[in-house]
Chains A and B, each alone.
Chain A
Amino acid sequence: MPSTAAKKSPRVPVRSGRPAPELVFGDLWTFDPAPETADPKLKPRYDLFIDGAFVAPKSGRYFDSINPGNEQKLAEIALAGREDVDAAFAAAQRAFDSTWRRLPGRERGKYLFRIARLLQDRAREFAVAETLDGGKPIKEARDFDVPMAAAHFFYHAGWADKLEYVAPGRRLEPLGVVGQVIPWNFPLLMLAWKLAPALAAGNTVVLKPAETTSITCLKLAEILQDAELPPGVVNFVAGAGETGAALVGHPTPAKIAFTGSTEVGKHIQRSLAGTGKKLTLELGGKAANIVFDDAPLDQAVEGIVNGIFFNQGHVCCAGSRLLVHEPVADAVLAKLKQRIRVLSVGDPMDKNTDIGAINSAAQLHRIGELVASGRKEGAEMYQPPCRLPAKGFYFRPTVFSGVSMSHRIAREEIFGPVLSVLTFRTVEEAVEKANNTAYGLSAGVWTDKGSRILKLSTELKAGVVWANTYNKFDPTSPFGGYKESGFGREGGRQGMLEYGQLA
């Protein structure tokens, strides 16, 4: 630990007599609206994608998908009932038995490459659709979600003909039909994380998107058709909890892969007990982002902002607990507040928007409720003075200081743009506080000292530990959790192993 005793504190203005100097972030130079104008090519109504074709639901029921940025209806989505789920699994089983498992890996790889390229071709269209449907800023959909989804297809396309090298001396056999359920925070990307390794390993798939974000999933079905993927290899059934329960409880799938809340994850694990189905779960998180006094503070602040406000905080690995070393706590908080003042909150379709819309009214309500609990329990709240659009679901970036481990906002996953700031005095205390949570998906460490990074990377019980950065993803890097953040890994060689059995 560097000595802090003799250090002057040049970053904390303490002066008497005249007012402390302040920076003015006013409206001298406000940017004109810069709306993204590409056509998302939405259909008024999306049917289920079963056996290579769009089919109307047997129930005849549809539900609305709305734009959380302005609460307007975007499209109608077919609601899959039990019979539709049956049909999807029957198609998947047929495809597995008749074509997909017999296809050489290099041929499967070609389909995946084709999907990746078609997605790149239509990147702008998909980015706009993702933003309209989910509320994330267009610059994130454009620069992160869509390119990263394509990268996952590319990466796993490369695995398809190299499965004998996953585990030397052994072969990776497909499991059969896989049932997958994905969340609403990264609809297209989570779909790619699930679909690409499953197909590369030779499995066929029935996948359910989240009910608030089905559109890019069903748009991807158009790409699967264009890629001439054999019918039934991938099937999409849309709907809410009931559809999910029908999918998870179905006798056909050899494996269930779920990304979503810990509550539902536990329920799924209970329901699968004794069935012999494989299961991987990627659940919630309450990650610690730990800033030591020797950290490069401006870059740490940038990482803190990226860690909690990326995708409105709808990120399971969000750095929602900031643990900051006491000697620099005031300086970090002051810099953080300054940085947040220049974040632009509002219309997700504006290219300059940093923080877009909360995904749904229900989620907005939950965030509001947890924030109210933080204020009630005595934490100090800061929100920048920004104007929010009148229509749509928006929440100001929020920082709570003076938070202790017993506060609800320090323990429960908020899944919104809300940061809880705690302090620590020693490395041991930092590790203990970081690990004192039911979750263990990710963590961040900010320090100039390399040895401390290595030490913490082993002591922090988290699936990913980022050092002097945050929220970095790559298809080659396995992602997954400890404890109630789930089990199983996605990405990399480890992720491939989850979609097959070694023979």
Chain B
Amino acid sequence: MVAPSSPPALRRLLDAIGTVDAVGVEERVAKYATRSIKKAAKVWGLRKAVSMVDLTTLEGKDTPGKVASLCQKALRPHDDSVPRVAAVCVYPSMVRHARRALGSGNGVRIASVATAFPSGQAPLRTRLAEVRAAVADGADEVDMVINRGAFLAGDFGRVQDEIAAVVTACGAAALKVILEVSELETYDNIRAASFLALRVIREGDFIKTSTGKTSLNATLGNNQVMLEAIRDHYLDTGIAVGMKPAGGIRTAKQALQFLVAVKETLGDAWLTPARYRFGASSLLNDLLRQLEKERTGAYQAPYYFSEAAESY
């Protein structure tokens, strides 16, 4: 499909998929922030956002105990009126602890970052082995990182082949392909990388903005570029791929703006956790805080929501 290792690879791909104008994208997404979402629509959006959260802990100091309390929060974020989150997201070594804490068949999925997250700088066979191990331990979803080095060097064939290899290694597990947008820098690159992934992943897989480990993560701008790539791919092939912005979405207000982008770009069929996720940790408590505010008319104290991310 794409010739390997030739400098004009990006140019050729962009010729086929079209370019992106940065000023225009930012102008478009500024309009999402002006949407005024009140009352029932706000509650609907907040609850939907809760159900889309991939509740995440990705730290060197993660322990089985920390993961267990994260799982508890995932199963029952606040009280019975609030839906469960979509998934917990942990490192591969924590997958079996998460499985033990969650049990199975209760609707909360286990996602695991793999492929030498976040840098991806390990031999391919190591990365694939990690994916297989995570799946074997009980991961329902795998979040991989693309080979940004190969992408920036113009070796698109390699980037795409590696994604295809991970798809195979996933087996029945869903795959989320992390583009790490801050390292790709331009919207053109983000669109190109989206298509490299879209063309080899399956219906029900996702593309994802970032690892959360770099300075710039999900923004409305790169979310928009990726949503439009998903839309174009869907209209062209009929294959519906999901989207996961991750990192940097901390407030309920931001989450609603991202959902407005989904509503106005991909439509109703994507307003579901099967096709849209938020990779976040502190977002959940702000969603709960706003839901309580809508219910009671007053903001509750932070300790009401097991506030600190460290102490779910």
Residue of B nearest to A468 (CB): B21
Q: B16, B20, B228, B231: which contacts A8 (Cβ < 8 A)?
A: B16
How long is the Cα–Cα vector from A24 to B272 in the complex, in angstroms?
13
CB 8 Å contact bits of B257-273 with A (1 = contact, 0 = none):
00100011011110100
- In the bound complex, residues from chain A placing their C-beta under 8 Å from that of B45 are 29
Q: Is the CB of B18 within 8 A of A24?
A: no
Residues of A within 8 A of B23 (CB): 299, 468-469
Which residue of the partner chain A has the closest CB to B26? A299
Q: How distant is the Cα of A31 from the Cα of B40 in the complex, in angstroms?
A: 8
Q: Which residues of B contact A306 (CB under 8 A)?
A: 27
Min distance, Cβ A480 to any Cβ of chain B, angstroms: 25
CA distance A29 to B42 in the complex (A): 9
Task: Tell me if B36 counts as interface (CB < 8 A to partner A).
Answer: yes
Cross-interface CB contact of A297 among B16, B18, B34, B263, cutoff 8 Å: B18
- State A296–B17 Cα separation when bound (angstroms): 10
Segment at the interface with A among B150-158, B233-241, B276-284 = B233-241
Question: A11 to chain B: which residues have CB within 8 Å?
Answer: 18, 232, 235-236
Number of A interface residues at 8 Å Cβ cutoff, please give it: 39
User: Is there contact, CB below 8 Å, between A139 and B34?
Assistant: yes
Cβ distance B191 to chain A, nearest Cβ, rounded Å: 9
Cβ proximity bits A99-142 to B, threshold 8 Å, 1 near / 0 not: 00000000000000000000000000000000000000001000
- Tell me the minimal C-beta distance from A3 to chain B in angstroms: 9
Instruction: Say yes or no for A294: interface residue by CB 8 A criterion.
Output: yes
Q: State whether B24 touches A298 (Cβ < 8 A).
A: yes
Residues of A within 8 A of B104 (CB): none
Residue of chain B at shortest CB distance from A446: B21
Knowing A13-B235, A299-B20, A302-B24, the reply to whether A23 touches B39 (Cβ < 8 A) is: no
Residue B41 lies at the interface, judged by CB distance under 8 Å to chain A: yes
Q: Are A31 and B38 in contact (CB under 8 A)?
A: yes
C-beta contact mask, B229-260 vs A, less than 8 Å → 1, else 0?
Answer: 00110111110100000000000000000010
Q: Does B80 contact A (CB under 8 A)?
A: no
B299 within 8 A of A: no
Given contacts A10-B17, A29-B45, A303-B24, contact A298 B38 (CB under 8 A): no
| Minimum CB–CB distance for A53 against chain B, Å | 40
The reply to whether B263 and A24 contact each other, CB–CB distance below 8 Å, is no
Residue of B nearest to A30 (CB): B41
* Residue pair A302, B27 in contact (C-beta under 8 Å): yes
Provide the B29-43 mask, 1 if CB < 8 A to any CB of A, else 0: 000001111111110
Are A351 and B34 closer than 8 Å at their CB atoms?
yes
Residues of A within 8 A of B35 (CB): 31, 351-352
Interface: A342 (CB within 8 A): yes
A302 to B24, CA, bound (A): 7
Is residue B28 contacting chain A, with contact meaning CB distance below 8 A?
yes
By a CB distance below 8 angstroms, the chain B residues around A30 are 41
Interface string of A284-325 (1 = CB under 8 A from B): 000000000010111110110010000000000000000000
Task: Please report which residues of chain A, range 1-40, place their CB below 8 angstroms from some CB of chain B when the two chains form the complex.
Answer: 2, 7-8, 10-11, 13, 15, 18, 20-26, 28-34
B39 cross-chain contacts in A, Cβ below 8 A: 32
CB distance from B92 to the nearest CB of A (A): 35
Least CB separation from A18: chain B residue: B238
Using Cβ atoms and an 8 Å threshold, which residues of chain B touch A352?
Answer: 35-36
Q: Does A83 have its Cβ within 8 Å of any Cβ on chain B?
A: no
- Does A429 sit within 8 A of B, measured CB to CB? no
Residue B58 interfacial (CB < 8 Å): no
Contact of A296 among B21, B232, B267, B269 (CB under 8 A): B21
List residues of chain B with CB under 8 Å of any chain A CB. 15-21, 23-25, 27-28, 34-42, 44-45, 48, 228, 231-232, 234-238, 240, 259, 263-264, 266-269, 271
Which residues of A does B touch, CB under 8 Å? 2, 7-8, 10-11, 13, 15, 18, 20-26, 28-34, 139, 143, 294, 296-300, 302-303, 306, 342, 351-352, 448, 468-469
A-B residue pairs in contact (CB < 8 Å), sample of 30: A10-B17, A10-B236, A18-B238, A21-B237, A22-B235, A23-B235, A23-B266, A24-B269, A25-B263, A25-B264, A26-B268, A29-B41, A31-B38, A32-B37, A34-B36, A143-B34, A296-B21, A298-B24, A298-B228, A299-B20, A299-B21, A299-B25, A303-B24, A342-B263, A342-B264, A351-B34, A351-B36, A352-B36, A448-B19, A468-B24
Known A23-B234, A28-B263, A34-B38; further 16 A-B contacts with Cβ < 8 A: A2-B15, A11-B236, A23-B235, A26-B268, A29-B45, A29-B259, A29-B271, A30-B41, A31-B38, A32-B38, A296-B21, A299-B20, A302-B24, A302-B28, A352-B35, A469-B27
